[in-house]
Amino acid sequence: MSKLKTVGHPLSPLPSELPPELRGPDWVQANPHRIERELRSALALPSGGWYVLDASRSIREDPRVYWVEGRELVAWRAGTELRVAPNSCPHMGAALSEGPVRDGRLVCPWHGLELGAEKHGAWCPLTAHDDGVLCWVRIDRPDDPEAPDDPPTPRPIVSARPEAFIDSVMRMEAACEPRDVIANRLDPWHGVYYHPHTFKRLKVIGVENGRLLVRVVYGITDRFGIEVDATFHCPDPRTITMTIVGGEGTGSVVETHATPLRHGRSAIIEATLATSDRPGFHRAIRAAGLIRPFILKSQRKLWVEDAAYAERRYALRSGAVPAAGKALSAPTGQGAAQGH
Ligand code: FES
Ligand SMILES: [Fe+2]
């Protein structure tokens, strides 16, 4: 570790004194009560009813099935316009995703009913939005007692993004709830122990406007790494954003979104928007297609491990494995708290 050299823009000096809760060994700083408290604050935020489905580039004209909150939906494009609707045909329930698209309209594979942007009986397209990186759907639940203070908004609540970026979006599924995905990210202290191949050094160095500030070295090789400062915050109850605030790539963001699919199953959709003030960056943007697979590979490698973390957390909360404390809340719809 002592031979590790860091490259990139210099960082500001470390604060001379840390708040008391950020002193001591990492396992003490990673206080489960603190993480749970921050998680509860995130879960209380409004979402406007929006859920991430997938990367913008993953949804084309051909229909694809997505589950959201126990609903089976179909997403497709009419030209460039994103459409999302229930996947069951209003006639006899055929899976519309198995039919073709003709002139931007779904054609039911059983009896040929054509469905587009307009309502047909009980079948009604949902409000959808493509922000250029991610596709979203809005689920309106006017009578939901669980969301009395979360009225629908015209657009998703998205954290600040860089002006020019190379984006890479990873999607994977895990046996957990969205809160387990967010809780994993609210615990940066695990990084250096759980992902030693990527994080060579990681220290929580403060709290800025309620956001944890982390100084981290991303390993390029065993000897070289890039050192940056990053903050974490939740813009909505199912998203946590890491923003590079110092060092190489300042302004880059990593948005981790979690979408509930069906009971105990979630999708993790992570968008990395990498930017740089280096003179050659605009040339790099033109070569994004070559660079993207490398970003994606490292995202996926980390999330295979973090999905296992989130699944373990969910198993503890649900009582599927015996718990060792009382810091975690039970899964949605279960009474007693299970510990960690
Ligand atoms: S089930 Fe779709 S048209 Fe009959
Ligand atoms: Fe992690």
Under 8 Å CB-to-CB from 48, ≥6 apart: which residues? Answer: 138, 150, 151, 152, 153, 155, 156, 157, 236
Q: Which two tokens stand for residue 339?
A: 């510990």
Mutate to test the pocket of ligand 1, among 97, 105, 113 (most ligand atoms within 8 A of CB): 113
pLDDT digits (tens, 9 = 90+) for 96-154: 999 999 999 999 999 999 999 999 999 999 999 999 999 999 999 766 666 667 899 99
Supply the Cα-derived Rg of the chain in whole angstroms.
22
pLDDT digits (tens, 9 = 90+) for 239-290: 999 999 999 899 999 999 999 999 999 999 999 999 998 988 988 898 889 8
pLDDT for res 287: 86
Averaged over 63-84, what is the pLDDT? 98
Label residue 328 by pLDDT band (50, 70, 90): low
Instruction: Indicate whether 337 pLDDT > 90.
Output: no
Instruction: Indicate whether 237 pLDDT > 90.
Output: yes
Instruction: Indicate whether 219 pLDDT > 90.
Output: no
Encode 225-254 in three state secondary structure. EEEEEEEEEEEECCEEEEEEEEECCCCCEE
Instruction: Indicate whether 223 pLDDT > 50.
Output: yes
Mutate to test the pocket of ligand 1, among 74, 87, 88, 91 (most ligand atoms within 8 A of CB): 91
Residue among 66, 84, 71 at smallest CA distance from 124:
84
**Ligand 1 atom at shortest distance from the alpha carbon of 90:** 2
pLDDT digits (tens, 9 = 90+) for 142-165: 666 666 678 999 999 999 999 999
Ligand 1 neighbours, Cβ below 6 Å, are 89, 91-92, 94, 108, 110-111, 113
Burial label, 294 (beta-carbon count in 10 A; 0-12, 13-18, 19+): exposed
Tell me the CA–centroid distance for residue 96 and ligand 1, in Å.
Answer: 9
As a whole number of angstroms, the distance between CA 204 and CA 230 comes to: 9
Q: Which two tokens stand for residue 73?
A: 């939906």
**Ligand 1 atom at shortest distance from the alpha carbon of 94:** 1
Domain 5-45+158-318 is found in CATH 3.30.530.20: yes
Instruction: Indicate whether 67 pLDDT > 90.
Output: yes
Long-range CB contacts for residues 223-228, cutoff 8 Å, separation at least 24: 223/3, 223/4, 223/5, 224/4, 224/5, 224/6, 224/7, 225/4, 225/5, 225/6, 225/7, 225/200, 225/201, 226/6, 226/7, 226/8, 227/6, 227/8, 227/11, 227/201, 228/8, 228/11
Nearest ligand to the CA atom of 183: 2
- Give the pTM: 0.91
Instruction: Indicate whether 61 pLDDT > 70.
Output: yes
Instruction: Indicate whether 224 pLDDT > 70.
Output: yes
pLDDT for res 326: 61
Return the higher-pLDDT residue of 322 and 252. Answer: 252
Q: What residue has token string 């397209």? A: 125
Nearest CA to ligand 1 atom 1: 92
As a whole number of angstroms, the distance between CA 139 and CA 127 comes to: 8
**Ligand 1 atom at shortest distance from the alpha carbon of 96:** 2
As a whole number of angstroms, the distance between CA 106 and CA 83 comes to: 10
Q: What residue has token string 């809340």? A: 329
Facing residues of 241 across strands? 233, 255
As a whole number of angstroms, the distance between CA 74 and CA 72 comes to: 7
- Residue spans of the domains in the chain: they are 5-45+158-318, 50-138
Nearest CA to ligand 1 atom 3: 111
pLDDT for res 190: 96
Averaged over 76-85, what is the pLDDT? 97
pLDDT for res 144: 66
pLDDT digits (tens, 9 = 90+) for 8-50: 777 887 777 788 888 889 999 999 999 999 999 999 999 999 9
pLDDT for res 2: 53
Q: Which two tokens stand for residue 300?
A: 């996926």
Q: Which two tokens stand for residue 312?
A: 């373990």
Averaged over 193-205, what is the pLDDT? 92
Averaged over 58-74, what is the pLDDT? 97
**Ligand 1 atom at shortest distance from the alpha carbon of 113:** 3
As a whole number of angstroms, the distance between CA 89 and CA 9 comes to: 56
As a whole number of angstroms, the distance between CA 333 and CA 71 comes to: 18
Instruction: Indicate whether 339 pLDDT > 50.
Output: no
pLDDT for res 336: 42
Q: Rounded to an integer, what is the distance from CA 309 to the centroid of its chain?
A: 15
Averaged over 310-322, what is the pLDDT? 94
The CATH superfamily assigned to 50-138 is Rieske [2Fe-2S] iron-sulphur domain (2.102.10.10)
